[in-house]
Structure formats: structure tokens, C-alpha cells
Amino acid sequence: MERKAFALLNLTEEKIGPCLVALEVQVEPERVDQAMHQAAKRISEAGRIAGFRKGKAPYNVVLRTYGKPAVLQEALDKFGNEILQEALTQQALEAYDRPSLELLSEEPLRLKFTVPTKPQVDLGNYRALRIEAKAPESISDAKVNDALEQVRKTHATKVPVERPATMGDALRGDVKIDAPDRNILNRTDAEVELQAGDEDMVPGFSAAMVGALIGETREFTLTLPEDFENAELVGKALQVHATVRDIREVQVPALDDELAKTVGDFDTLDELRADLRQNLEENAQRTAREQFEEEALQAGLAQATIEFPDVMVEEEVRHSLSDLMRDVAQQGFTFENWLRMNNLTLEGLRASLRPGVEQRLRRSLFLYNLAEREGLKIEAADIDAAVAAEIGQYPDEMQAEVRRVYGTENGRVSVGLRLLQRRALDKLISIVKGEGVLLPGDEVASRPAEVLIAH
């Protein structure tokens, strides 16, 4: 049968969610009839109908033998996609994922396509953003002294003693902590240092264990304060069962030149002190830079409009779950047991992953679109250099496998996208500082440039 050209579709479009539209199409009877006859012919060619050779059974016979619903379904399997593509073209839509099809009525034939569309990003006037960078934190002598104390603790020795436990001692033994609804901790032959304040294993635990003797078991109740990090446990009574097997006194070395020689390539305590100050200052500068970058990115996101389909979120959640399952398996646990140990359900875990996934998608889409707007490019040589640097961070025996992973198409694209995000963020930083706010070609025209990731 000769194909006939049909007019524009009779359809309505409704936005029903972020990057999700419903297209309702009413198909012309003549076109439906043509599709039904073509479907009947395909059915006749594929099956056997008594009294007729393959492909020769009349339309009405096929309809009577297989039923109209079966013929219509066969028609929609091919014809439905044609209608969908015409609808997308007519409405200037790009599908992000496979749309769903719902049959609303047979006569007239009305179809409903639910279409997830590609992400929509309006960067807003990000080039008008200006932010003043804050100076890095000043490193005082007190902070250097704190760092020296940490060095002393790191190089401390633990000497067995036979006396009641005091604050600062290291106790070895068994500890079990139960909340009203579940077990929180159950460790055998564990080592716990008795510390006051924020360094206490659980607020109040160390104070309750002061005075304990080797072989003694203590049972007590702790009620967690309002500022405890796990909000679910605040105000709940925890039942503690602790048995002391060993008590060791923690002896820290003297703060002198000998300590400096033990720590590293230093001859004097002053050299160690100067090195610690330099490290602290570098960390402060890095922290200030990262905070400024985050402030700039959040400012850009705040004035941008970004939408993406839910199916995109679900894809990323699946990837995150897959990565987590692999990590759990490497630790020797089944995923079901890991969920039980953490008092989680699979659906609860999926829901908890969504906010982080959505945040990452917003950041990535903003930076990729900024890169396109600014005409930023990643060349093959950039990827080669980044891969070489990455490989160099691994031990010799692992470098061949790392090189193989990064040598794949997906591996190189992944590196290129990471570099592109970094370059886009660097560009945003220069903009919010008031540097380089013009695009290439802005003097003659305002136009988006192509993003190139060569591989």
C-alpha cells in the first residue's frame, strides 16, 4: 500500500513536571485505518490462517481471527513511534529517555506520550556576579603549639599499668552500647582512650570508666546531649556494658630536638615548628580558596534556572548504589547484611541518595553550560597530561591496570569532563573577581561557542 503524507498532528502539550511533558495526540481515522491494514498484513505474513497462504488473508479475516486489540497493538508497535517522532518534531522537543505510551481511546484513536525531555539550563547573568575573596585564616603560635601536641600524641608510647584507670589512659576490652531500639556498638578486644570533651568516644563514657580496674565490668546509662552529631540519638538513654582487659598509660615524648629528629628530617624543634607552620598556612590558603570557589559556584547556581528529568536522577542514584555495593562487597559483606547493620532499607537508602545526586547534577549542568557559553575547550593533550599525572600517583604494580582503565574511550571522556568542570569553575572564579568577563567574539557578536572534548 502506498504511503500517504498526512498533515500536522492534532495534539496538545502539557508540562507535568521538571523536564516532563505529556503529549496527547488524536490520530486521523484514515491514518489509523492505513496503519491497521499494514499491521494486519504483517500478522498474516508471520502467522498461519486456515485457508490462506501467508500474507494473503484479507484484512477482515485477520481482524476476526486475532481480534482488533491485537491488530491495534501490532500497529502501535511501529506506528506509535512514527507518531511520537512527528509530535516531538512538531513541538520542537528532544526526548532525554524513552517516552511511555498510553492508549486513551480507540475511536477516535487518542494516544498519550509522557516524554522526559533534555535538561534545561538558563545560566542567568552570571557575568555580573562579583565576590570579594576573604583572606586565609591567620596561623597563630597557639595553633602551631596544638599541631606540636598532635605530633607528640602520634609518637606516644603505651605502657601497661596495674592501677585504676585515669583520664588519658588507653583501655583494651569489650564494649557494647545499646539504644532503646537497636544496638549501636558491639566491639570485642577494642582499644579506647579515655578523653574528655569532644574527643570522648561517646559523651560521658570516659568519665564513667575512670577508676575501673583490670577485669572489672561496668554497666551504666548515658543520655546524649542536645548537640550530639547523630540527631536520632539525642535525648535517648544508651545502655553501656564495658569490660576492661588491659590498662595502658599513654606517655607522650618531651617537646625537644629528639622528638623533631624522630618525626622527620629535622635537626631541631624549631625546624619542626617552622615546617608545621608552613603546612598550616598552606592548608589555610587551600581552605580559603575552596571556600571562595564554593561561594562563587553557589552564587552562580542561585541565579540560574536548571531543570532536569527525574529519570536522570534515577540513573545517577543507580550508579551511586552500584558503586556502594561494590565497596561493601570488597569489605566482605553482603549488601543485605550491610543494610541491616546500618538499620537501613534499600528504598530508604535510595531516598537518602537523591538530594546529593540532585545537587551534583545541578552543579555539573551549570558548569558544562558555562563552559559552552565561554567557548572552553579540552584538547587531547590536556587529557594525556592529566592521565599521566593520575597514573603517577599509583604504585608501580598498579600502574598498568590504571593505564588500561584510562586508556578506554569512557575513561578518557571521564577525565575530559572532569577537566572541563575544573576549567569552567576557574573561569567563573575569574569572572566573580572582575577578570576576563568578555567572551571570545563578544566585540562583534554574542553567540555560544562549541564545547570540545578531544579524545
In order along its 455 residues, the chain shows pLDDT tens digits of 444 444 567 899 999 999 999 999 999 999 999 999 999 999 888 878 877 878 788 888 888 888 999 999 999 998 899 999 999 999 999 999 999 999 999 989 999 999 999 999 999 999 999 999 999 999 999 999 999 999 999 999 999 999 999 999 999 999 999 988 888 889 899 999 999 888 888 889 999 999 999 999 999 999 888 878 777 788 888 999 999 999 999 999 999 999 999 998 999 999 999 999 999 999 999 999 999 999 999 999 999 999 999 999 999 999 999 999 999 999 888 999 889 888 889 999 999 999 999 999 999 999 999 999 999 999 999 999 999 998 999 998 998 998 998 889 988 999 999 999 999 999 999 999 988 655 554 443 333 333 444 43
CATH topology classification for 10-118: Alpha-Beta Plaits (3.30.70)
At residue 111, the pLDDT reads 95
At residue 438, the pLDDT reads 59
3-state SS, residue 127: helix
| DSSP run (H or E) holding 112 | strand 110-116
The pTM of the full predicted model, rounded to 2 decimals, is: 0.76
Beta-carbon contacts of 435 under 8 Å, excluding residues fewer than 6 positions away, are: none
Would you say 417 and 365 are in contact if contact means Cβ atoms under 8 Å apart? no
- Please state whether the peptide bond connecting residue 108 to the residue before it is cis, i.e. omega within 30 degrees of 0: yes
Cell numbers of 240, please?
A: 553501656
Query: CATH says 157-251 is which class?
Result: alpha beta
Q: Count of residues for the chain?
A: 455
At residue 4, the pLDDT reads 44
Q: On the CB side of 285, how many CA atoms lie within 13 Å of its CA?
A: 6
At residue 406, the pLDDT reads 87
User: Of 439, 309, 366, which Cα lies nearest the Cα of 121?
Assistant: 366
Q: Where are the domains of the chain?
A: 10-118, 157-251, 350-453
3-state SS, residue 443: coil
User: Of 309, 368, 305, which Cα lies nearest the Cα of 95?
Assistant: 309
Question: Rounded to an integer, what distance in angstroms lies between the CA atom of residue 295 and that of residue 297?
Answer: 6
The residue type found at 236 is K
